């Protein structure tokens, strides 16, 4: 094993060791586990950065640690791919993880499950690193499910709360529905190519029938829809907010939920050879971006607003990969990971300061009481709204410009409207929480969070402000593009550029959309030019639709869950007990009735036995003679 | 040592029986000695079986540790033993689970301890004999003898309608077995008619020529015997009753070992003896296997009794195994064998946990349970690992088996495999929902019935941890590093597949010939 492969395998080793340490011996470490866990992830981060530079200045590589499953022609090893795409992801994952770990030391202070928390957080980081590094579909699937499991266990971390354990279970099951499609996609892919190794698959894709490629791509996309919470499987993510807030920042904003986007970028060969599948990705992404932003407009729970925002922003990323702009998709993935992680951490800080309050109607005027939280939150909000020079401006505009220049005007228009709504809902939150008149409970001692929490927030805010500059000069000449597009050279260019509209013109529209959104929020909640209640009653049906999350949960419950449960009960109580077991007992009963009569034969008279025996013997002899 | 190695299988099979003589003189009042000694002896038995694993040559499909003596020469019956990669692990599973079951019964079995441990050891002999026998008469004897101790275990130490369940179990299996016996004897006679030799030697009977039509009839006969044991839908209704009413040890052995005999019967007897029929009927078996997967899962979702839920989940899991076996691809059969072991480990563990909860709460009604997680973190953690293994979470053993079964079957039965794969969604539904209601949520009903118990709910003690620990370790080992298992199973499965493929070629040639002559 040479130096670079050693470094690569050391990256997942530290969080793995952390998981075992806190999981088994957590109670002996007490409060220390948080610090050591953060240090472990920090080491992984430093190693990731080193690996990043190794790969950037030489080239990517693959390596197999050990052969894993071997049956017939099915041979799969524990093997990694380290290329530019995976090192970027590694740096992002370990970097955000380190900050979230440090933040958690403060946030989870005094929780009785302190070590358990860090144990699972480390297991998550290990799984996410392995997911990014996997070099075959089986390994990818394994860690795809493993991150889902960590999400399940961390959402339900406070399992005494029924809503928390419900949310965890819901997340797992909804993800399983997507993973079912993902698994079938893997079966089909193995059937078509006889391998699960990425490189071998990609080399065969161009020669495969387009229909096969399309079906496989769509099945894999089903997994992405589940994991990245896209419509119609988005329902688990808002409920996932029952978990500790740093978990939402790490898993439900920065890393796990972006796995679907990463997967499509990783399988860009497959998706680019199926324009149909890519179009489906684009449609689902565009619709989800709009749909989730629409719900976020009227929510009062600050974490749920940010959660719906995540669903919406993931929609943008799917738009990008759906039109073959893989670098733009990954760029937004990275910048979103930072500013959305920041928004969650700051939302957690608000919660912390208000003793767990999440309802916007019980906030207001927090700016003066928690300045660092407020300012960092606003930085995140500006980035999310796409206001220059914050990172969201560069990354979101890169997507929207590509969408426009590749000729998808409708998707572009939806994207711009969504941008306006995005700026509105996040600034509605900011104004109501930090600047509107205070409705905070008077008995509550509002306080700024400790340094161990604010420091990661400040670092994240710094990057939310600066990371966008790797996106200049804009579009297909940027530092980021030039670095990453090396990995996407073997795509089929199914969506060529048809326009050459200059970037500043398109950016002007986006920025205008963002500013209008902010201004409307300002008019409504600071200037009070119009009473929001008035608008509510003017658009009552639409408001109700948004406020009730388009009734999706209710629809699922009514159309799927209830009928299925009734059917399963029917199967058990009627088919199993009455029909099958009834038949069995019926037969048994018939035999019992028969044996009552047969008992008469057994009358204890020797003569009748002999008679019966002789008749039998004669019958057998007779049979043999006539044969 | 030479003697030991030469007669290893015989020693292994009859060591438990022999050890009964050590237990007999002990006063039946001295329960702790009886328990400790029998558990220790079963541990020794497990260690003996471990020698099989150590000295097993992984690179051949041929039977190993073969012993052969004439038994009833005039009938061609012999004492013929031997194991291959498949029976090797089933034997190891049996010895491990017997040890685990005995260890798990310290608290649950309070009456007739002496009878209980003797019956368990006797059962172990019969189970091991059934897996090692290569003579069909010997096989059949062991096979039927198994019923007797199991009947008493359910009937004497069970709960609720235990007599009904025990009788149902015996009658169900006996009915199937008799039809199976008829089929086996018919093959025996056909072989005699063709060669003029009486033999019960399985390996020779493999070469009996049986016309396709007759094969189908005989296959159905054997099918009924094995299908009841598996159990395949719709022959499963004995299982929820027997599992639910049996004591924990009985449920563990039932799920962990006895259900395996059905699949083992197909693998060792029905398919190789009647390959043409197996090829023709495979699609039908797969259809009912897949129906069983979904049916078992659906019915599990709505169960109210914790143990019955786990019992029904077996129907679903065994459906996966039938799919893998009858898809007759090397990958899927490997998966089926691995999954056979996994099911024994995972479901065995689930029954152990259900037993521990029942011992503490005195109820198995899911609605009366709840809030255990707060009181018992060790139990919660280990139970959760077992649940997740059963759900098929990657990294644990259940995943490898399911994945190999599905990816191997997809090639031949794409649509049915997709339907089967949807079972992984429902497995998550019934197991996680169950876990949430039993461990997390506060109980929905009266405070005095259950919460009272939950207040004093004690966590697992050292004995209980030792009981489940081997199973938990295996879940991780087989999930992360299945190579030691797959390497030994592989050659046997490959041989099995090549035998079937050979028949496929012959069978297709006959079909083509028939087609030509018709034209």
Residue B27 located in a structural domain: no
Q: Cβ(A310)–Cβ(A341) under 8 Å?
A: no
> What single string gives the DSSP state of each residue in A388-434?
TTSHHHHHHHHHHHHHHHTT-HHHHHHHHHHHHHHHHHHHHHHIIII
- Chosen for mutation from A24, A64, A71, A569 (greatest number of chain B CBs closer than 10 Å) is A71
> Is there a contact between B425 and A180 if contact means CB atoms under 8 Å apart?
yes
Provide mean pLDDT across the span A91-99.
93
Domain holding B444, by residue range, is 276-519
Residue B316 located in a structural domain: yes
Contacts of A187 in chain B (CB under 8 A): 406-407, 410, 414, 417-418, 421
Alpha-carbon gap, residue A74 to B327, rounded angstroms:
15
Residue B380 located in a structural domain: yes
Q: What is the pLDDT of residues A315-345, one digit of tens each?
A: 999 999 999 889 889 999 999 999 999 999 9
Of B264, B285, B321, the C-alpha closest to B492 is B264
Residue of A nearest to B380 (CA): A159
Provide mean pLDDT across the span A518-540.
84
B2's CB contacts (< 8 A; 6+ apart) are none
> Is there a contact between A565 and B295 if contact means CB atoms under 8 Å apart?
no
User: At A68, which helix (H) or strand (E)?
Assistant: strand A61-71
User: In which band, very low, low, confident or very high, does the pLDDT at A67 lie, cut at 50, 70 and 90?
Assistant: confident
Q: What is the pLDDT of residues A468-502, one digit of tens each?
A: 888 776 656 778 887 888 788 878 888 888 888 88
CA B120 to chain A, closest CA, distance in angstroms equals 29
**Mean pLDDT estimate for chain A:** 86
Look up residue B278 and give its two tokens.
Answer: 């197996």
> Is there a contact between B411 and A191 if contact means CB atoms under 8 Å apart?
yes
Alpha-carbon gap, residue A50 to A52, rounded angstroms:
5
CA angle B97, B103, B109 (to 5 degrees): 110
Residue B516 located in a structural domain: yes
Q: Is the minimum CB–CB distance between B98 and chain A shorter than 8 Å? A: no
Q: What is the pLDDT of residues A231-257, one digit of tens each?
A: 889 898 988 888 899 998 898 888 999
CA angle A349, A351, A356 (to 5 degrees): 150
Q: Is the minimum CB–CB distance between B487 and chain A shorter than 8 Å? A: yes
Q: How many CB atoms lie within 10 A of CB B142?
A: 20
For chain B, how long is the longest CA-to-CA vector?
80
User: In which band, very low, low, confident or very high, does the pLDDT at B126 lie, cut at 50, 70 and 90?
Assistant: very high
Q: Cβ(A527)–Cβ(A422) under 8 Å?
A: no
Contacts of A190 in chain B (CB under 8 A): 407, 410
Provide mean pLDDT across the span B32-56.
92
> Is there a contact between B436 and A165 if contact means CB atoms under 8 Å apart?
yes
H-state helical runs in B396-482 = 397-410, 414-421, 423-435, 452-455, 462-480
Looking at the partner chain, which of B237, B329, B428 has a beta carbon nearest the beta carbon of A580? Answer: B237
User: In which band, very low, low, confident or very high, does the pLDDT at A1 lie, cut at 50, 70 and 90?
Assistant: low
Residue B2 located in a structural domain: no
Q: How many CB atoms lie within 10 A of CB B32?
A: 9
Burial of A209 (0-12, 13-18, 19+ CB in 10 A): exposed
* Confidence at residue B446, expressed as pLDDT on a 0 to 100 scale: 46
Q: What is the pLDDT of residues A417-458, one digit of tens each?
A: 999 999 999 999 999 888 888 787 777 788 888 888 889 999
Contacts of A159 in chain B (CB under 8 A): 373, 439-440
Residue B492 located in a structural domain: yes
The distance from CA B372 to its chain's CA centroid, rounded to whole angstroms, is 30
Alpha-carbon gap, residue A587 to B175, rounded angstroms:
11
Looking at the partner chain, which of B407, B433, B487 has a beta carbon nearest the beta carbon of A187? Answer: B407
> Is there a contact between B394 and A72 if contact means CB atoms under 8 Å apart?
no
> What single string gives the DSSP state of each residue in A127-139?
HHHHHHHB-BHHH
User: At A70, which helix (H) or strand (E)?
Assistant: strand A61-71
Residue of A nearest to B312 (CA): A572
CA A509 to chain B, closest CA, distance in angstroms equals 45
> Is there a contact between B403 and A67 if contact means CB atoms under 8 Å apart?
no
Look up residue A115 and give its two tokens.
Answer: 């070590």
How many domains in chain B?
A: 1
HEC profile of A496-522 = CCCCCCCHHHHHHHHHHHHHHHHHHHH
B430's CB contacts (< 8 A; 6+ apart) are B297, B300, B301, B303, B309, B313
Q: How many helices (H) and strands (E) does chain B have?
A: 25, 2
| A514: pLDDT strictly greater than 80 | yes
* Confidence at residue A617, expressed as pLDDT on a 0 to 100 scale: 59
B398 vs A514, B297, B309, B340, B405, CA distance in Å?
50, 16, 18, 10, 11
B443 DSSP assignment: P
Alpha-carbon gap, residue A609 to B399, rounded angstroms:
60
Q: What is the pLDDT of residues B453-488, one digit of tens each?
A: 556 778 888 889 999 999 999 999 998 888 899 999
Contacts of B171 in chain A (CB under 8 A): 588
For residue A109, the SS3 value is coil
Residue of B nearest to A153 (CA): B384
Contacts of A71 in chain B (CB under 8 A): 330-331, 334-335, 404, 408, 486, 490, 493
Residue B220 located in a structural domain: no
Alpha-carbon gap, residue A131 to B263, rounded angstroms:
36
* Confidence at residue A292, expressed as pLDDT on a 0 to 100 scale: 93
Q: What is the pLDDT of residues A597-609, one digit of tens each?
A: 666 656 555 555 5
CA B266 to chain A, closest CA, distance in angstroms equals 20
**Mean pLDDT estimate for chain B:** 88
| B443: pLDDT strictly greater than 70 | no
> Is there a contact between B394 and A141 if contact means CB atoms under 8 Å apart?
yes
* Confidence at residue B163, expressed as pLDDT on a 0 to 100 scale: 87
Give the strand pairing for B77-83 and B64-72: antiparallel
Q: Cβ(A205)–Cβ(A280) under 8 Å?
A: no
HEC profile of A533-547 = HHHHHHCHHHHHHHH
> Is there a contact between A580 and B482 if contact means CB atoms under 8 Å apart?
no
Report phi then psi at A558, rounded to 5: -75, -40
Of A527, A533, A357, the C-alpha closest to A427 is A527
Burial of A626 (0-12, 13-18, 19+ CB in 10 A): exposed
Alpha-carbon gap, residue B461 to B468, rounded angstroms:
11
A229 DSSP assignment: T
């Amino acid at each position: 094993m040479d130096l670079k492969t050693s470094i690569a395998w050391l990256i997942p080793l530290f969080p793995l060791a952390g998981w075992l340490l806190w999981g088994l011996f957590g109670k002996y470490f007490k409060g220390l586990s948080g610090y050591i866990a953060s240090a472990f992830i920090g080491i992984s981060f430093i190693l990731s950065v080193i690996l990043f530079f190794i790969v950037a200045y030489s080239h990517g590589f693959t390596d197999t640690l050990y052969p894993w499953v071997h049956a017939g022609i099915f041979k799969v090893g524990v093997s990694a791919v380290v290329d530019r795409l995976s090192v970027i992801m590694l740096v992002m994952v370990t970097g955000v993880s380190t900050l979230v770990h440090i933040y958690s030391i403060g946030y989870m202070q005094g929780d009785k499950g302190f070590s358990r928390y860090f144990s699972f957080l480390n297991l998550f980081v290990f799984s996410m690193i392995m997911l990014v590094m996997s070099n075959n579909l089986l390994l990818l699937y394994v860690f795809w499910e493993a991150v889902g499991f960590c999400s399940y266990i961390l959402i339900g971390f406070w399992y005494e709360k029924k809503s928390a354990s419900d949310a965890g279970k819901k997340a797992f099951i909804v993800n399983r529905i997507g993973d079912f499609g993902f698994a079938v996609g893997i079966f089909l892919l193995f059937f078509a190519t006889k391998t699960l190794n990425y490189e071998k698959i990609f080399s065969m894709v161009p020669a495969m029938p387009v229909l096969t490629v399309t079906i496989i791509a769509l099945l894999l996309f089903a997994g992405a829809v589940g994991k990245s919470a896209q419509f119609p499987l988005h329902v688990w993510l808002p409920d996932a907010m029952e978990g500790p807030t740093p978990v939402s920042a790490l898993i439900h904003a920065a890393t796990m939920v972006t796995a679907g986007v990463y997967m499509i970028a990783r399988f860009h060969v497959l998706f680019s050879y199926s324009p149909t599948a890519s179009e489906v990705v684009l449609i689902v992404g565009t619709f989800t971006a709009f749909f989730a932003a629409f719900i976020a407009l009227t929510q009062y729970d600050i974490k749920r607003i940010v959660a719906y925002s995540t669903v919406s922003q993931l929609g943008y990323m799917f738009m990008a990969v759906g039109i073959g702009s893989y670098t733009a998709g990954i760029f937004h993935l990275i910048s979103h990971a930072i500013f959305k992680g920041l928004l969650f951490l700051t939302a957690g800080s608000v919660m912390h300061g208000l003793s767990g309050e999440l309802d916007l109607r019980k906030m207001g005027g927090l700016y003066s009481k928690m300045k660092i939280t407020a300012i960092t939150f606003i930085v995140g909000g500006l980035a999310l709204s796409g206001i220059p020079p914050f990172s969201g401006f560069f990354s979101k505009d890169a997507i929207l410009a590509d969408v426009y220049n590749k000729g998808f005007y409708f998707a572009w228009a939806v994207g711009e409207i969504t941008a306006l709504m995005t700026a509105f809902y996040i600034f509605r939150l900011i104004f109501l929480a930090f600047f509107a008149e205070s409705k905070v409970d008077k008995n509550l001692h509002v306080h700024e969070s400790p340094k161990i929490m604010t420091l990661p927030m400040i670092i994240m805010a710094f990057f939310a402000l600066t990371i966008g500059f790797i996106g200049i000069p804009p579009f297909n000449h940027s530092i980021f593009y030039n670095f990453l597009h090396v990995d996407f050279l073997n795509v089929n260019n199914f969506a060529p550029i048809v326009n050459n509209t200059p970037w500043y013109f398109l950016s002007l529209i986006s920025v205008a959309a963002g500013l209008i959104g902010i201004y409307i929020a300002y008019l409504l909640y600071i200037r009070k030019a119009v009473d929001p209640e008035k608008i509510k009653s003017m658009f009552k049906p639409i408001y109700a639709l948004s406020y009730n999350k388009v009734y999706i949960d209710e629809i699922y419950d009514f159309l799927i869950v209830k009928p299925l449960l009734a059917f399963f009960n029917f199967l058990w109580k009627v088919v199993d007990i009455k029909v099958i077991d009834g038949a069995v007992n019926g037969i048994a009963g018939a035999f019992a009735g028969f044996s009552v009569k047969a008992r008469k034969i057994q009358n204890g008279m020797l003569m009748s036995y002999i008679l019966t025996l002789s008749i039998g013997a004669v019958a057998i002899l007779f049979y043999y003679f006539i044969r | 040592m030479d003697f030991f190695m030469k007669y290893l299988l015989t020693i292994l099979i009859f060591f438990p029986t022999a050890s009964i003589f050590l237990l007999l003189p002990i006063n039946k009042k001295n329960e702790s000695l009886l328990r400790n000694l029998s558990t220790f002896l079963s541990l020794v038995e497990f260690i003996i079986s471990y020698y099989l694993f150590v000295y097993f040559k992984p690179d051949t499909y041929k039977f190993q540790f073969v012993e052969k003596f004439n038994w009833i020469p005039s009938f061609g019956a012999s004492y013929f033993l031997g194991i291959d990669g498949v029976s090797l692990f089933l034997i190891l599973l049996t010895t491990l689970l017997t040890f685990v079951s005995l260890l798990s019964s310290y608290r649950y079995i309070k009456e007739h301890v002496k009878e209980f441990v003797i019956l368990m050891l006797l059962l172990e002999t019969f189970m091991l004999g059934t897996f090692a026998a290569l003579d069909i008469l010997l096989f059949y004897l062991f096979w039927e003898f198994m019923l007797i101790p199991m009947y008493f275990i359910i009937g004497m130490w069970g709960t609720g309608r235990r007599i009904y369940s025990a009788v149902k179990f015996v009658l169900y299996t006996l009915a199937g077995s008799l039809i199976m016996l008829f089929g086996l004897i018919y093959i025996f006679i056909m072989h005699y008619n063709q060669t003029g030799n009486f033999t019960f030697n399985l390996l020779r009977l493999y070469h009996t020529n049986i016309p396709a039509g007759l094969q189908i009839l005989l296959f159905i006969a054997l099918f009924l015997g094995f299908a009841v044991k598996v159990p395949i839908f719709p022959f499963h209704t004995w299982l929820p009753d027997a599992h639910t009413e049996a004591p924990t040890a009985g449920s563990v052995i039932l799920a962990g070992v006895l259900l395996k005999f059905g699949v083992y019967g197909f693998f060792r007897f029905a398919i190789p003896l009647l390959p043409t029929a197996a090829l023709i009927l495979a699609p039908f078996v797969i259809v009912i296997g897949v129906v069983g997967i979904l049916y078992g899962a659906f019915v599990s979702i709505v169960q109210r009794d914790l143990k019955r839920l786990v019992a029904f989940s077996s129907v679903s899991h065994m459906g996966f195994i039938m799919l893998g076996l009858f898809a007759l691809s090397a990958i899927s059969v490997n998966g089926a064998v691995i999954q056979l072991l996994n099911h024994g480990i995972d479901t065995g563990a689930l029954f152990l946990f259900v037993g521990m909860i029942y011992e503490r709460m005195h109820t198995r009604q899911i609605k009366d349970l709840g809030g255990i997680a707060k009181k018992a973190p060790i139990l919660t953690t280990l139970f959760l690992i077992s649940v997740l293994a059963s759900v098929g979470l990657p990294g644990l053993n259940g995943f490898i088996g399911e994945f190999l079964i599905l990816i191997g079957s997809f090639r031949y039965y794409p649509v049915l495999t997709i339907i089967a794969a949807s079972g992984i969604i429902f497995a998550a539904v019934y197991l996680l929902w169950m876990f949430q209601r039993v461990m997390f949520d506060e109980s929905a009903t009266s405070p005095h019935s259950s919460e009272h118990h939950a207040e004093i709910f004690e966590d697992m003690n050292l004995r209980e941890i030792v009981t489940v620990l081997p199973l938990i370790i295996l879940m991780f080992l087989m999930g992360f590093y299945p190579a030691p298992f797959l390497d030994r199973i592989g050659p046997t499965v490959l041989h099995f597949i090549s035998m079937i493929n050979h028949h496929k070629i012959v069978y297709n040639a006959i079909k083509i010939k028939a087609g030509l002559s018709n034209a």
